[in-house]
Amino acid sequence: MSSSLQSVIPFNEHTTRAFLEWIQSPQHVNRQQMSYTDRAQLMLYCLSPNEKCQTPAQRYFKRRSKEYLVIEDRLHRHPDVRNTAPRLVILAKETLSTVARIHQQLGHTGYKKTFAAVEK
């Protein structure tokens, strides 16, 4: 792990590797990785549902936007049977730093409590 990344992420290399394995495992249900561009497209159609589509890709995002809503300028996934509250969409590149922030907010609890909080 690079020293600049280590200064932002308070995990050792073993914990970081364990988290990345966990998030990609079949048991982890929130595995979708979203890019900035994908999020921007979804937000566009959430905020402007009457926006005209010019390409098949735009039609795809417009159709998918029905699964999302915008709360305080942030993209959330609609509640479902498993998750009764809207879930914040986190970009793939921000995942590890978000987990680190949650870990710190919980008072540096162990990885099981941190991962459980991330699942919510």
Tens of pLDDT, residues 20-76? 777 777 776 665 678 899 999 999 999 999 999 999 999 999 999 999 999 999 999
Q: Please provide the average confidence, as pLDDT, over all residues in the chain.
A: 80
pLDDT at 6 over 60: no
Local structure of residue 53 (DSSP, 8 states): P
Question: Any residues with CB less than 8 A from the CB of 69 and at least 6 apart, and which?
Answer: 46, 75, 76, 78, 86
pLDDT at 2 over 70: no
